[in-house]
Amino acid sequence: MTTQSSNAPRASLSVTDGALMMVGIIIGIGIFKTPQLVALFSPNEWVFVALWLCGGLTTLIGALVYSELAAAYPSTGGEYHFLTRAYGLPVGFLFAWARTTVIQTGAIAAVAFVFGDYAQEMFSLGSYGSAIYGALALVMLTLVNIAGTYQSKIAQNILTVILVAAMAMMVVVGLMNLGSKPPVAATGSGPGYGMLGLAMVFILLTYGGWNEAAYLSGDVRDVGRDMVRLLLAGTAIVTLVYVLVNIGYLFALGLEGMRKSDAIAADVMRLAFGQSGAIIVSMIVCVAALTTMNATIFTGARLYHALGQDLALEKLRVWDDVRNNPRNAIIVQSIIAFVLICFGAMARDGFKAMVEYTAPVFWFFLMLVGISLFVLRRREPDHPRPFKVPLYPVTPILFCLICGYLIYSSLVYTGRGALFGIAVLLVGIPLLGLVRRKRRRMAAAAE
C-alpha cells in the first residue's frame, strides 16, 4: 500500500543524473532548425562557430548565477523559492501562476507538437496527427513519471545517451563530407556584423532549458557541492555537442549551403544515407523531443508540490514516499499541458503558437531571478553560501542584461501570441488576492 506524506523528496540524484537531465532538456529540437537562421545572420564561417561558443558562454553565466542560488536555498520550488524569498509572496505567486499556466506547460506542449510533426513524417494520422502524437507522448511520459523518480531518471538517462550518440553520428557524417559535391563556400553577399544580435536570439533559444536544473536542488544528494558540478557539466556537454554539430554542418554543406537549406540535418544525413536519411533525422528529432518532455515533466511538477506546501493545497502538497515523487502534481501539470495541446491543434503552427505564448514571460522572470541574487546577498549577508558566483557583481549583471535584451526581442518578434501569454499572467493578479486572504486565515487559525 502506498504511503503518502508532504515530506520533502529523498535526495537520490547524482551529478551524472542531474547533468543528463539538464542535457536532455537543452538538446531539443532547436539544433535541427536554428543553425540555418544563424547562418543567414553570420558574415562568415568563423563568426558562425564563434556565435555558438558565445551561446555556451552565456549559458555558463546563467548557470553560475543559478548555482549560487540553488546551493544556498535548495528547494523543489527552484525559481519560485528564490523569487518568494527575495521579493515576497506576490512576485513568487505570479511566477508560479505564469510557470504553471504559461511557461512550463507551454514548453511541454510545444515540444509535444515537434514530436508529433516528425512522427507524422513516418506514419501519418491525418490532419490532427501532430496533436494526437503529441498527446500520446504526453500520456506515456506522464505514466513513466508517476511510476517513480527512479523510473523517470532511468528513462532520462537512456534517452539522453541515445540522443548524444545520434548527434555524434551526425557530426561524423558532416566531418567526413560524404557528398558528391564539395560544400558551397559563403559568398560576399552575406549579412554584415549588425545582424549578430539577432543570431544570438536564436542561439540562446536553442540553449534554453538549463534553468530547469534549479528544480533538482531538492533531489540532489549533496546540493552544496553537486549543484555547481552538474550545471557546469551539463553546460560543457551541450556546448561541445552544439559546436561540433555545427562544424559538421559546415563541413558538409558550407555556410552558403546552410543558408539555402530548409532542413539542414536531413540534407547532411542524405549525404551518407540517401533519401532514408530524412527518416533517420525524424527518428533523432523524436528522441530529442521525448528526452526534453520527460525532463521537463520531471522538473515542472516540483513547483506544483512546492506551491501546494506554501498555500496548504492538500492534494498538491502530497509527496509519495514510496515512489519518491509528487504524483498529484505530475497529473495536474500534464492535464494543463494536454489542454494547451488542444489549443495549439487549432492554430496553424502549434509549435510557433506555444513559443509566442511563453517567450516574453519566461525571460522576464529569468531576469528577476538574476536580480534576486543581489537582493538576497544584501538582505542575508551571513546566510551560508556553499558556492559563490565568480566575478561578482559582473557575472550576474551580464546575465540580467542578456535577459533584458531577450525580453525586448521576444516582444518584437513573437506577435499577438505574446499578448495572450501576458494576459494569462495578469489573470493571476486577482487570484493573488484570494491566496493572500487564505494565508491570513491560516495565520489567524494558527494563533
Where does the pLDDT of residue 85 fall: very low under 50, low under 70, confident under 90, or very high at 90 and above? Answer: very high
In a domain, 297, yes or no: yes
Give the residue-averaged pLDDT of 153-176.
88
- Specify whether the CB–CB gap between 238 and 27 falls below 8 A: yes
In a domain, 4, yes or no: no
pLDDT of residue 145: 94
Q: Which residues of 177-198 are buried (b: 16+ CB within 10 A; e: fewer)?
A: bebeeebeebeeebbeeeebeb
| Residue in 41, 71, 77 with CA at minimum distance from that of residue 302 | 77
- Specify whether the CB–CB gap between 378 and 53 falls below 8 A: no
Q: What is the pLDDT of residues 108-135, one digit of tens each?
A: 887 888 888 888 878 888 888 888 999 9
pLDDT of residue 224: 82
Where does the pLDDT of residue 195 fall: very low under 50, low under 70, confident under 90, or very high at 90 and above? Answer: low
> Does the pLDDT at position 176 exceed 90?
no
> Does the pLDDT at position 2 exceed 50?
no
pLDDT of residue 180: 46
> Does the pLDDT at position 418 exceed 70?
no
* Structural domain count, the chain: 1
pLDDT of residue 352: 57
Give the residue-averaged pLDDT of 188-211.
71
In a domain, 416, yes or no: yes
Strand partners, 289: none
| Residue in 387, 299, 400 with CA at minimum distance from that of residue 69 | 387
Most confident range, picked from 95-104, 156-165, 261-270, 407-416: 156-165
Give the residue-averaged pLDDT of 255-276.
81
d(CA 231, CA 66): 9
Q: What is the mean pLDDT of the chain?
A: 83
Give the residue-averaged pLDDT of 146-163.
91
Question: Who wins on pLDDT, 276 or 69?
Answer: 69
CATH number at residue 428: 1.20.1740.10
How many CB atoms within 10 Å of residue 322? Answer: 11
Give the residue-averaged pLDDT of 402-423.
74
pLDDT of residue 189: 52
> Does the pLDDT at position 348 exceed 60?
no
d(CA 214, CA 302): 10
| Residue in 356, 353, 348, 349 with CA at minimum distance from that of residue 413 | 356
Where does the pLDDT of residue 4 fall: very low under 50, low under 70, confident under 90, or very high at 90 and above? Answer: low
CA dist 433 → 77, 312, 429 (Å): 21, 16, 7
Where does the pLDDT of residue 97 fall: very low under 50, low under 70, confident under 90, or very high at 90 and above? Answer: confident
Cα angle, residue 90 at apex, residues 366 and 80 outer, rounded to 5°: 40
In a domain, 114, yes or no: yes
Where does the pLDDT of residue 374 fall: very low under 50, low under 70, confident under 90, or very high at 90 and above? Answer: very high
Give the residue-averaged pLDDT of 276-284.
84
Q: What is the pLDDT of residues 56-68, one digit of tens each?
A: 999 999 999 999 9
Domain extent for 62: 13-446
d(CA 243, CA 239): 6
| Residue in 247, 245, 252 with CA at minimum distance from that of residue 178 | 252
pLDDT of residue 357: 63
pLDDT of residue 5: 55
Give the residue-averaged pLDDT of 207-215.
85
d(CA 145, CA 142): 5
Give the residue-averaged pLDDT of 160-168.
90
> Does the pLDDT at position 415 exceed 70?
no
In a domain, 2, yes or no: no
CA 377 to chain centre: 27
pTM value is 0.81
> Does the pLDDT at position 8 exceed 50?
yes
pLDDT of residue 48: 92
> Does the pLDDT at position 101 exceed 70?
yes
Where does the pLDDT of residue 171 fall: very low under 50, low under 70, confident under 90, or very high at 90 and above? Answer: confident
pLDDT of residue 285: 87
Give the residue-averaged pLDDT of 311-324.
77
